[in-house]
Amino acid sequence: MKYVYDFAEGNRDLKDLLGGKGANLAEMSNLGLPVPPGFTITTAACKVYLDTGEVPVGLSDEIGEHLASMEKAMDKTLGDAEDPLLVSVRSGAAFSMPGMMETVLNVGLNDESVHGLAARSGSERFAWDSYRRLIQMFGKTVLHIEGSRFDEALDAAKKANGSDDDLDLDADDIRELVAAYKEIVAKESGRDFPTDPREQLDLAINAVFSSWNSDRAVLYRRQERIPGDLGTAVSVVSMVFGNLGMDSGTGVAFTRDPGTGAQGLYGDYLQNAQGEDVVAGIRNTLPLSAMEGVQKQAYDELLQTMAKLERHYLDLCDIEFTVESDKLWMLQTRVGKRTAGAAFRIATQLVDEGLIDLDEALNRVTGAQLMQLMFPQFDDEADKTQIGKGMSASPGAAVGKVVFDSATAVEWAGRGEDVILVRRETNPDDLNGMIAAQGILTSRGGKTSHAAVVARGMGKTCVCGADNLDVRVKRRYFSAGGGVQVSEGDVISIDGSTGAVYLGEVPVVPSPVVEYFEGKLDPDSEEADDLVRGVHRLMNHADDVRRLKVRANSDTGDDSRRARHFGAEGIGLCRTEHMFLGERREHVQRLILAESDEDIEAALAALLPFQRADFVEILEAMDGLPVTIRLLDPPLHEFLPDLTDLSVRVAVAEARDEPDEEAQTLMEAVQRLHEENPMLGLRGVRLGLVVPGLFKLQTRAIAEATAELIKAGKHPIPEIMIPLVGAVQELEIIREQTEQVLADVADEQDVELHALIGTMIELPRAALTADQIAEAAEFFSFGTNDLTQTTWGFSRDDVEASFFSQYLELGIFGISPFETLDFEGVGELVRIGVRKGREGRPDLKIGICGEHGGDPESVHFFHEVDLDYVSCSPFRVPVARLEAGRAALLGGGSDSR
């Protein structure tokens, strides 16, 4: 196997083999740009080294051959005493990982070659400064010596010279600093600094290989979801010197502003310096434009090169360069990282400039970037006092007074106050408070806890799992360590994008993108900026090219109307259990406690008008679009008071000799309904089969609401979904009952009623027997939240708090399977369910209504397996629309029809 490539042998398409840096150095060489001679050692060599602890057989000889070619091209020899060739050894993975791995400069210098470099350059100071930089970088990178040891020695030298600037140190000062650095190496590493140039090179290459698995590199890959088995390439490049004098320098440039996307000249330049001085912030840099006044010829050539690279890469380019004695050298280029706003601006700018088309522009932006643009953000320039850190559960910036329960949140918000609901964790009863609050903060739970899921659905800022906070709900305060105590009514600010919690009010900047989606900002108006116009153009193109429909998960009329503004093409999941909370809970409790048919009928009759009114509001908001209504899913005990609270209530009553019959009855019901694992107990379709009349009530409410709207000239399209079906026989029984109720209401109301009847696929058995179930179902909707739980054997609310962090650290998960679908396991069940379902019913409509419906990566999977639609929280509808368009352009998709 070939392990080493000269720059002339590679190109940018070989980045998996040569890494981004090596591939782009080769590309610039092919373009005829001034790139110092060099070669790249492949990622394949790195993988062998990491697997075995040894470099591959033959690699040393290959390096020797390419080094000899470099020496011939430069007419110098590595480490020669009279005119030494010096090289840099740089990391470069296929994916950009800025600053995460190692670089060593000036390899080849020793006690003899430093004099040759001084003679050739005419500057002893430059030569010794280059030598001290090598020892410092080699010591940190190769010998793992704490960098602070070298920094302390440099500070001592500057102090002895009475200066704060290392440029004030002369050659003698730096010669003494080199001696001090050598002593540090000997003391800290137990060996002398190596003086053999080839040994320096080999050790530096091995150290760069090893840096692939450094703690910071592993953490960065986990954060950016970069695979851990790729390895890094190593580029060995002839040194060019920006620290040769004031006619030399080094800099970083961007062809457009990576922060805003604005066109212009952006970057930093530093005279008489090497590259690490710019990125390390050791010295104050000049703006790139200032380079024109000090090195005009190199500056003009740089501008021409930047324009050439952007036209070649058809994108924003990030460039590193050095000027040596007024000659420009290009050391690196790559497609530059950018903010979300810059991504949308640059994509549409390049379309307008005729460099790319709208298809390519759409592929240049992501749903994750769009989501960032949709949330308000704190002003980065504002002063902040951070008191806690949790998980960034739902992005955005929220400021308000602390409240500790739902009722207080509703009360205070009702009188016009902004509040932050603070809980240990939330539950369905907190919904009103969550709606009223500007944001939600919990000390427990993860990104898919109740608080997180509901907050994301509402577009509400949420920070979960801030475990340094000790929340005392009954005493109305939380403590945050360091003597900080926050009481009810105190103001805090929470950042759902970072998980940070701040004391006091932090100013926020609103998002015009959300105003655009809500129809409050016309993209063609003067008030709209180029960002809003760019989002508008790319969203329209995504809608034009996508195949997947996008629906919303919504349980209220307000959410449904908002979802429609955001571009939802129907409701994919309307959860009816939320309609049984609050004041209606007592009617559900009457149903649970009923002892006769008359009691059951009375309880159901009391619930009917509430359900009907809810469905009228939602169906009317989505007039002309499908609304999938899931019949009651959770176990009945969730509608009863907590057992502990009831036990206390009964005990207190008995102690006072004042029996509380209601509490006693409720406690007995809770005990009777208690299940060891309610997630797998009496819920979903099982409730419809066991509790007489429950599903019939809900079906009648849907049918009567539909009839009412039809008579009013509307066009409601209800779809009735039976949850947790595991066997076709369950569905057949409920389907027969449902069809009978629809027929009865149609006769009573003298209207024609039709509703598709289908089921959720959320059990492995349902996916495996989908061909049978499809015979009784007109549509499937994959409930991927429960399907993930039942496939993995996880209880989501338990495992996220207990061991998910360890699973992520150990690499068992790259990301939580509740955030992005587990394609290999759960995804395979989805594939089977789609294939078998359409075998049983070719015209079967299939969608997905779990939280994964708004996850960008998962949307691409759902396009590939040929679903008809995805459904997600209203706030994520634009994200799903965008990603569905990108998925269509990227191809894929099975023919399961």
Distance CA 615, CA 611 (A): 6
Residue from 472, 458, 49 nearest 231 by CA: 49
**Amino acid (1-letter code) at residue 676:** E
Residue 316 CB-half CA count within 13 A: 29
Residue 767's Cβ-side half-sphere holds a number of Cα atoms within 13 Å equal to: 23
Amino acid in position 702: I
Residues 64, 87: Cα–Cα separation, whole Å: 14
- Cα angle vertex 328, ends 327, 332, to 5°? 150
Full strand arrangement of the beta sheet holding 477-479:
470-472, 477-479, 485-487
β-strand pairing of 419-423 with 439-442: parallel
Q: What is the rounded CA–CA span in Å between residue 206 and residue 412?
A: 62
Phi/psi of residue 63, nearest 5 degrees:
-60, -45
Q: Let me know if 450 is a catalytic residue.
A: yes
Catalytic residue from among 849, 860, 863, 872: 849
Task: State the Cα–Cα distance between residues 322 and 277, nearest whole angstrom.
Answer: 12
CA distance 623 to 705: 12
Which residues, 6 or more positions from 380, have their beta carbon under 8 angstroms from its beta carbon? none
Rounded CA gap, 101 and 209, in Å? Answer: 9
Structure-derived torsion over alpha carbons of residues 857, 862, 863, 869, reported in degrees to the nearest 10:
-120
Catalytic residue among 46, 317, 450, 541: 450
Query: 232-238 and 317-324 as β-strands: parallel, antiparallel, unpaired?
Result: unpaired
Q: Which two tokens stand for residue 499?
A: 């998980």
In the chain, DSSP finds a helix count (H) and a strand count (E) of: 36, 33
d(CA 375, CA 68): 56
End-to-end CA distance of the chain: 45
Cβ proximity of 633 and 578 under 8 Å: no
Q: Which residue has the tokens 């103001």?
A: 491
Query: What pairing do the DSSP bridges indicate for beta strands 717-722 and 756-761?
Result: parallel
Report the alpha-carbon distance of residue 362 to residue 544 in Å, rounded.
11
Kindly list the catalytic residues. 450, 849
